[in-house]
Amino acid sequence: MTKNKIGKQTLVFNNKPKIISACSIVGVKEGQGPMNTWFDRILEDDTFGEKTWEKSESKMLKEAIVTALNKSGKEKTQIDSILSGDLLNQLMSSAFMARDLQIPFIGLYGACSTMAESLLMGSVFIDGGYGSNIIAGASSHYCTAERQFRLPLEHGNQRPPSAQWTATAAGAFVLSDEKNYGEEPMLIERPMGHELNPKSVINVKKDICVTHGTLGKIIDTGLKDANQMGAAMAPAFVDTVLNHLEDTKRNITDYDLILSGDLGNIGKQIAIDLLKDAGLNQKDLIDRYDDCGSMMYEQEQDVHAGGSGCGCSASIFTGYVYKRMKKGEIKRALLVSTGALLSTISPFQGESIPGIAHGICVEIC
């Protein structure tokens, strides 16, 4: 008999895995955006001192994981597994990061939904007693994604207005079966002009738990334009949110924040319209719903339809959301990362873009 599942798609974590630490690292452009005061580290150079973009991304992910581990007060030997993923073939950034750290590793691929996927699976491990301490992470890099999925940067190709900007960013959480009310250490590095916002300082001790995880299913509307990923993913986000609410018998007003990642500006509006058509109150939606891709950049930064990439939601979850929850400003959040599951080959074979979205309910407990 299934004891830890309710409804069609939602898992209940009765042992309530605790998020005991987090780290967010972003690139130069992301550090110039409206979220900059919430990140732990802003790079001064997107190469991060490496010779290739791929090595830069792997180093960024490694730094986020090591920093989250240091913040947690745990030793490396106490970590049962790292669950992480990225956008690159064979999970290149995550695999080489795990090679260096020599901690048991499970690579996950959900495109931009990877952060929620790793949090969900890490919570399954801890709730089921298969581990005491799990690291969940994800990363992306604008230059690595452009090289793999589109054209080399040297081509200077034009991007249509509907295109999104892959965030250069990484985020990592440490999940544990133990309570940890530890203080958040000072930030590591902030370039001049990116001073710490007092609002992002954590001065309230709170336990943050993962209580539910809603598994997404692939929703494919037949859209084939790879420059319309927000539109391709929005129906999957809506499907997961509606199933989560149905399974838990909750309403959107039971949440302080519902966050998608990363639909961008176009996908966000489509999601609002679809949720409104499904019967959800538009004012309630506007009061508590936002999208990581819309939050990451200012309009003047010319990223067109907003942000995308595994690191976009990963850095905003581990920065803005986590720190506001530690301060007690957000008591319950539904985090739904979205992914466009196209490959470098599938568009050339006439395939459409499958969308996926996984949901995680995180609460102060």
* Per-residue model confidence as pLDDT tens digits over 180-206: 645 554 444 555 445 555 555 555 567
Which of 177, 200, 223 terminates a domain? The answer is 200
In a domain, 12, yes or no: no
Does residue 236 sit in the same domain as residue 299?
yes
Name 173's bridge partners: 22, 136
Question: Do 99 and 176 belong to one domain?
Answer: yes
Last residue of a domain, one of 143, 172, 200: 200
pLDDT of residue 68: 97
- Residue 219 phi, psi (nearest 5): -120, 120
Query: Is there a domain that residue 292 lies in?
Result: yes
In a domain, 289, yes or no: yes
Q: Are 22 and 133 found together in one domain?
A: yes
Q: Is there a domain that residue 2 lies in?
A: no
Q: What is the CATH number of the domain that holds 109?
A: 3.40.47.40
Amino acid at site 36: N
- Answer whether residue 109 is part of any domain: yes
**159 and 223 together in one domain:** no
Range of the domain at 26: 17-200
Among residues 256, 291, 247, 242, the alpha carbon closest in space to that of 362 is found at 256
Q: Angle, nearest 10°, between helix axes 92-101 and 53-72?
A: 50
Q: Is residue 9 part of a domain?
A: no
pLDDT at 206: 76
> How far apart, in whole angstroms, are the C-alpha atoms of residue 251 and residue 287?
13
Residues 164 and 303 in one domain: no
Do 341 and 217 sit in the same domain of this protein? yes
Q: Using DSSP, state whether 266 is helix, strand or coil.
A: helix
Residue 280 lies in a domain: yes
Is 83 in the same domain as 188? yes
- The residue whose two tokens read 């990484």 is 170
**Both 57 and 145 in a single domain?**
yes
Q: Could you give the number of structural domains in the chain?
A: 2
Answer whether residue 121 is part of any domain: yes
pLDDT per residue, tens digit, the chain (365 aa), is 568 999 999 999 999 999 999 999 999 999 999 999 999 999 999 999 999 999 999 999 999 999 999 999 999 999 999 999 999 999 999 999 999 999 999 999 999 999 999 999 999 999 999 999 999 999 999 999 888 876 666 656 677 778 888 999 999 999 999 876 455 544 445 554 455 555 555 555 679 999 999 999 999 999 999 889 899 999 999 999 999 999 999 999 999 999 998 999 999 999 999 999 999 999 999 999 999 999 999 989 989 899 999 999 999 999 999 999 999 999 999 999 999 999 989 988 999 999 999 999 999 99
pLDDT tens, 315-362?
Answer: 999 999 999 999 999 999 999 999 999 998 998 899 999 999 999 999
User: Do 32 and 156 have their domain in common?
Assistant: yes
pTM, 2 dp: 0.92
Residues 169 and 286 in one domain: no
Q: How many CB atoms within 10 Å of residue 254?
A: 14
Contact between residue 173 and residue 21 where contact means Cβ atoms under 8 Å apart: yes
Residue 60 near residue 309 (C-beta atoms within 8 A): no
Q: Of the candidates 161, 176, 200, which is a domain's last residue?
A: 200
- For residue 364, what pLDDT is reported? 96
Residues 275, 239: Cα–Cα separation, whole Å: 9
The rounded distance, in Å, linking the Cα atoms of 18 and 173 is 10
189 and 225 belong to one structural domain: no
Residue 273 and residue 132 share a domain: no
